[in-house]
Amino acid sequence: MDISVVIPLLNEEESLPELHDWIVRIMNENKYSYEIVFVDDGSTDNSWEVILGLTQKNECVRGIKFRRNYGKSAALNQAFLECNGEVIITMDADLQDSPDEIPELYRMITEDKFDLVSGWKQKRYDPLTKTIPTKLFNAATRKMSGIKLNDFNCGLKAYTKNVVKSIEVYGEMHRYVPVIAKWAGFTKIGEKAVQHQARKYGTTKFGLSRFINGFLDLLSIFFIGKFGKRPMHFFGAMGTLLFGIGTMSAIYIGVVKLLSLRMGVPKILVTDNPFFYISLMCIMLGTMLFLAGFLGELISRNSPGRNKYHVEERV
């Protein structure tokens, strides 16, 4: 099968028939073998009934229904587990992503040999309250990840089958699939300017809180990617540093006090010295951080998938 089109959705009953017909037209014009995977993320409208109707109309349509709303990341992850195409293309269900981009995305994956191609909405039909935070978010992600993309959050992306079968998308990490793919060893990441269309039906499902959550998720994915398999390297280093600073400070305070007593110079009590409590706090924090790293290593080494590695090729 050439292409799997993965479409996560929440309460998009009005746009689904039009989106389906548009995708089918593009597939037939280019003679692709395909499947369309709709993932109903706990919709409360008639989205699932519409999907059932589309499966009866078109044998290339598949539907996955969640019992409740788990989020876009969960929808993508489940679809990635079940899709069969050699190239997987994700897009939103609100008609803001154009299926006309599919042929070029497919070509970039199959001919230019990209592992992942991300869409870039150069001209957006969104209010300033959404576009300005998006630019700041993208700049921060570029800086921290080292991936030179202009629009990490664009729902229109294309992947090789190897990519989607090698990564796990959870929480709210759908914004960072390029970062997750890079940490998994897929470094050939490209970008394509795509057309952004104004929403035709319904309302947006995202609020301003997503930018705060997005930044926290970025810190999480950065930490997990860098120290997820070796937590002691982070917690142990920080703990050792703080414990060393606290210990040396405490020794210095004690030596100064003993010298003062020996020379008969009046000196305040050690417990009246504020630096004594700073030293004590550093020792305590250092010990706790070191123990956190030790426990993290125990959990990591005994967790399922600890020794799971992505094998690229066998001969």
- Span 230-252, pLDDT tens digits: 788 888 889 999 999 999 998 98
Q: Which residues pair with 90 in a beta bridge?
A: 6, 157
Residue 17 is classified by DSSP as: H
Q: Are residues 115 and 175 in the same domain?
A: yes
Identify the domain boundary among 193, 227, 261: 227
Q: Is position 283 within any domain? A: yes
170 and 288 in a common domain: no
Please tell me whether residues 61 and 136 are part of one structural domain: yes
The set of residues, in sequence order, having a beta carbon less than 8 Å from that of 189 and lying 6+ positions away, is 114, 115, 116, 117, 118, 147, 149, 178, 181, 182
Shared domain check, 288 and 171 = no
Please state at what angle helix 231-263 crosses helix 274-302, rounded to 10 degrees.
160
216 and 253 housed in the same domain: no
Q: Mean pLDDT over residues 158-166, rounded?
A: 95
Domain final position from 206, 227, 248: 227
Q: Does residue 175 sit in the same domain as residue 278?
A: no
Collapsing DSSP to helix, strand or coil, 181 comes out as: helix
- Boundary of a domain, candidates 179, 202, 227: 227
Greatest mean pLDDT among 49-63, 119-133, 293-307 lies in 49-63
Same domain membership, residue 251 and residue 123:
no
Structure-block tokens of residue 304: 């399922």
> Do 187 and 220 fall into the same domain?
yes
Instruction: Give the whole-angstrom CA distance, residue 307 versus residue 305.
Output: 5
Residue type present at position 13 = E
Question: Is residue 96 domain-resident?
Answer: yes
Of residues 115 and 301, more confidently modeled: 115
Tell me if 307 is assigned to some domain.
Answer: no
β-pair type (34-40, 61-65): parallel
Whether the per-residue pLDDT at 38 is higher than 70: the answer is yes
Confidence (pLDDT) at 31: 95
- Residue numbers of the domain that contains 282: 231-302
- Give the residues across from 9 on adjacent strands: 40
Q: Which distant-in-sequence residues (6+ apart) come within 8 Å of 76 by Cβ?
A: 6, 8, 39, 90, 169, 174, 177
Decide if 62 contacts 38 (C-beta within 8 A).
yes
In this structure, are 104 and 9 located in the same domain?
yes
In a domain, 314, yes or no: no
User: CA–CA separation, 23 vs 20, rounded Å?
Assistant: 5
- Residue 135 confidence (pLDDT): 80
State whether 155 and 251 are in the same domain: no
Q: What is the pLDDT of residue 132?
A: 72
* β-bridge pairing 61-65 and 3-9: unpaired
- Whether 166 is covered by a domain: the verdict is yes
Binned at pLDDT 50, 70 and 90, residue 310 comes out as low
pLDDT digits (tens, 9 = 90+) for 84-130: 999 999 999 989 899 999 999 999 999 999 999 999 988 776 666 66
Would you state the pLDDT for residue 314? Answer: 67
Domain count of the fold of the chain: 2
